[in-house]
Amino acid sequence: MTKQTDARTLIAGRGVVEPFRVMKMLDLVHRRRAAGQETIMLCAGQPSTGAPEAVLSAAETALRDSPLGYTEVVGDRGLREIVAHWHSRTYGVETGPDNVVITTGSSGGFVAAFLATLEIGDTVALARPGYPAYRNILKSLGVGVVDLPCGAETNFQPTAAMLEALPEPPKAVLVTSPGNPSGTIIDPGEIEKIAQWCDAHGAVLISDEDYHGLSFGKPTVTARQFSDNAIVVGTLSKYFSMTGWRVGWLILPDALVETVENLQASHSLCAPAISQIAGRAAFSPEATEELDGHLERYRETRRVLLDALPGIGLDTFAEPDGGLYLWVDVSSVTEDSEAWASELVDAIGVALAPGVDFDPVDGHSWVRLSLCGPAEEAAEAVRRLGQYLGR
Ligand SMILES: Cc1ncc(COP(=O)(O)O)c(C=O)c1O
């Protein structure tokens, strides 16, 4: 037998990134449920529903009628045309299919966009709290992160003034609206100022628009309304309720399309064919009707949580304008949200997402609750939590 190589010799420093604690919590919930232990899941980062009916029947047809080989590297032409048309119609911009690249979830899009625009040693400005994968992918690519700490004063979102105050401009700025974990939406005027600042300072604006379609009333704008240089990232995972189908897209400036195409050709060849072909139907009027119904359920769960949490003393949170989450300050209860979240699963069968994933500095006293489950379950979770806390 050969002697196993020591981990320190085997593992490259850039490959070592933080674990995604939410996914660990999800695993725990699945294990508990498999063992017959009832658990309320408020930690999920995905809709609890499946793909729209129209997509399911399109997938059945595609399975039988199509060889489902590789699609074009940049994605199925039909889907690219539909995404381009949807983007143009929704935001009043002129997006052509040649600027759309279909990716393996938006996650695949981020890797391609970062590789296409950032050198090793460059920096990207990001909101904190924010989606943890950004900093993990960037670290593994040798790119630095400039934190933009965002609190209630700016609705948990970055501003152009924060960029202006940086000692030197970063190579890129990444914004996420509606946000994860905050659910807050950046005002259109602020996105415009951020886009102008990026153009004036030669910084690439990357706009994560994955949670578009999920607004409780506030308007969402695309960064492409304000700059043709902006890179927009989108997905079928959130509003479209097709998380595991792994389809996302990039809307790119002309100058980047070929570079991203060549990167994607070597990294993944193409996004899953069946998901792309069936995904065309996600934009149909029948699908939209079904998906808008899900939004109404998220709205109801949001209302229940916002009404009930102050009653148990948890009255500091980011009020979500959209998205799928509620970001709650639990500093009155714990300074270790990870340990507290584990304790709650065991004690009352309620699974929350610990805040440290989203904010490595202050997240130890925050948790993220998901709006994806039924309102009755959310109400029951708050009742159990109140009882547990003696409030
Ligand atoms: C803000 C944000 N961006 C990107 C993603 C990645 O999603 P996907 O790869 O499924 O499109 C997620 C997933 O939760 C997210 O919350």
Q: To test ligand 1's pocket by mutation, which of 21, 206, 209, 210 has the most ligand atoms within 8 angstroms of CB?
A: 210
Q: Probe ligand 1: pick from 184, 208, 233, 235, max atoms within 8 Å of CB?
A: 235
Query: According to the CATH classification, is domain 53-284 in 3.40.640.10?
Result: yes
Q: What tokens were used for 324? A: 């799928």
Residues in the chain: 391
Domain segments of the chain: what residues?
Answer: 7-50+287-389, 53-284
What confidence score (pLDDT) does residue 33 get? Answer: 92
d(CA 292, ligand 1 centre) in Å: 20
Neighbour-count burial for 77-97, b at 16+ CB within 10 Å, e otherwise = eebbebbbebbeeebebebeb
Nearest to 382 by CA among 45, 27, 40, 25: 40
Residues with CB under 6 A from ligand 1: 45, 105-107, 131, 176, 180, 208, 210, 235, 237, 243, 248
CA distance linking residue 102 with residue 247, whole number of Å: 7
Residue 176 CA to residue 170 CA, distance in Å, equals 17
**What pLDDT shows up at residue 315?**
95
- Nearest Cα to 134, choosing from 377, 360, 306, 390? 360
Provide the pLDDT for residue 301.
97
Give every residue of the chain whose pLDDT is below 70, as ranges.
Answer: none
pLDDT of 151 reads 97
- Give, for ligand 1, the residue of 103, 233, 238 to mutate: max count of ligand atoms closer than 8 Å to Cβ: 238
Peptide bond into 129 cis (omega under 30): yes
- Superfamily (CATH H level) for 7-50+287-389: Aspartate Aminotransferase, domain 1 (3.90.1150.10)
> Using CA atoms, how far apart are residues 219 and 181, in angstroms rounded to an integer?
19
